Amino acid sequence: MAQPLVFILNGPNLNLLGRREPEIYGHDTLASVEELCRRSAEQLSLAVDFRQSNHEGELVDWIQEAGETADGIILNGGALTHTSVALLDALKGVGLPAIEVHLSNIHRREEFRRHSYPAQGAVGIIAGFGPQSYALALVAMSTLLHARPGLGQAGRAQASDEPHEAEA
């Protein structure tokens, strides 16, 4: 049996990790975050497809691609988190379990960063743990996909909006 595939999608400016506002985002690069994700996924019997784009339309295309090939999505939409109805619509359109991640605690920052459009299409949000936010999201996704094998791409039509034990 193949390992469940999780798309890990990163939005604008995350390619600047390690040099952009290190007092907020830390000194880790996106490459080191990707390596952390790959190691974590391997331990959890997950496969990952890790991508970054500064373009909203490309992220939408990748979410739609995930709907055809993946079992779950982990999304750090960057600044698009606070502005993009398109990301929300794409997440809702594909119906896969999605988890939103942020390196910083968005609720301790500027008011405008406290609102997330994609969160309305996500199972949950993990924020404020630096790169560990991604590792924690992979643990949560593994719990979702392994506890309910039909929840991913193959069984997304059966998924409901009702909470289940893994979401508690």
CA gyration radius, the chain:
15
Give dist(CA 33, CA 13) in Å, integer. 14
Q: Determine whether 25 is an active site residue.
A: yes
CB 63 within 8 A of CB 94: yes
Outline where 1-131 has alpha helix (H): 22-25, 30-43, 56-69, 85-94
Give dist(CA 163, CA 159) in Å, integer. 10
Count the Cβ atoms, other than its own, within 10 Å of residue 84: 20
| CA-angle at 91, arms to 95 and 12, nearest 5° | 155
Catalytic residue among 27, 55, 82, 102: 102
Q: Which residues are catalytic?
A: 25, 102
